[in-house]
Each structure stands twice: as structure tokens, then as C-alpha cells.
Amino acid sequence: MPNHEEHCAESLKRYGKSFSELHAWMDEPSFLLGSNHRKYRHDPNVTPDEAKAIFGEGADNACLDHIRLDEQENRKRAQNNPEITSVQPVTIEVQSTAGSWNLECKAVTIIHNGKTTFTYNPQLYLKNYDTV
């Protein structure tokens, strides 16, 4: 997440005022909740009006910029971190001259940079169901 100084620098650049108190107020719940603090004081439909009422003219726009910067950072993190979307059992049949075997494992769906790939749980279970 952008830090306090980055939020203030963006506001100073855009509005000629850092809105330091606003940014501190918006991120205050992070001391208790970490990144989950964005459930509070980060609603683009409600928080800008609250910010304007508390911090005055222009705070609503600085508030929206704060939310936008946080969302941009979230998207960057999501692109760099694979997301596991499902875990499903998979059975693979293997036939050889020694017999037929089932390899049972768990397939994990992973999305990374918008592409879906599959990997398997390293713990495989080998079941012989038809020996010669």
C-alpha cells in the first residue's frame, strides 16, 4: 500500500496541499487491522463526503485519490502474486506392462498474470487396480 508520504506527495502535487491529516485519518484503522483497514474509510461513495465535512474543501478529491492509489497498489500486488482459485481431486490412469495404476492427487488451479495453470499436490497416492 502507498505509505503516508506517498499519499501526501500526490495531494501536494495535485492540489497544492498535502492533506496529511486526511491521509492519517483514512489509514488510522490500519494500526489495528493491517490491510483489512480498507473496509473502513475507503468507500468511494461515502468517505469523500465525510472527508470534505471533516477536512474541508478539496479533501473529497484527495480522498478519492487516496482510494485510487491504494487500488492501483492492490492490482500490482495481485499481478505479482499467484492466486489459488480451487483445489480439486484428480485421478490419472497409468497403464504399463506391469499393470494399470491410478495416480490420485489434488489439482490446484493457479492464476498468475491472468493465465490459468495447474499444479499438483506433491503427495501422490498410487493405487494398483489391475495387476498382470
Local mean pLDDT, 10-residue blocks, the chain (132 residues): 91 97 92 80 94 97 94 77 57 64 59 56 45 42
Query: Closest by alpha carbon to 112, among 85, 73, 89, 74?
Result: 85
Length of the chain: 132
Tell me the CA distances in angstroms from 46 to 14, 40, 42, 60, 105, one per residue in order: 22, 10, 8, 10, 47
Spatial distance between the Cα atoms of 45 and 73, rounded to a whole number of angstroms: 20
What are 41-57's pLDDT values in tens digits? 999 999 999 999 999 99
Residue with cell 492466486: 83
Spatial distance between the Cα atoms of 84 and 94, rounded to a whole number of angstroms: 27
In this structure, which amino acid lies at residue 39?
Answer: K
Report field, pTM of the whole predicted structure over 0.85? no
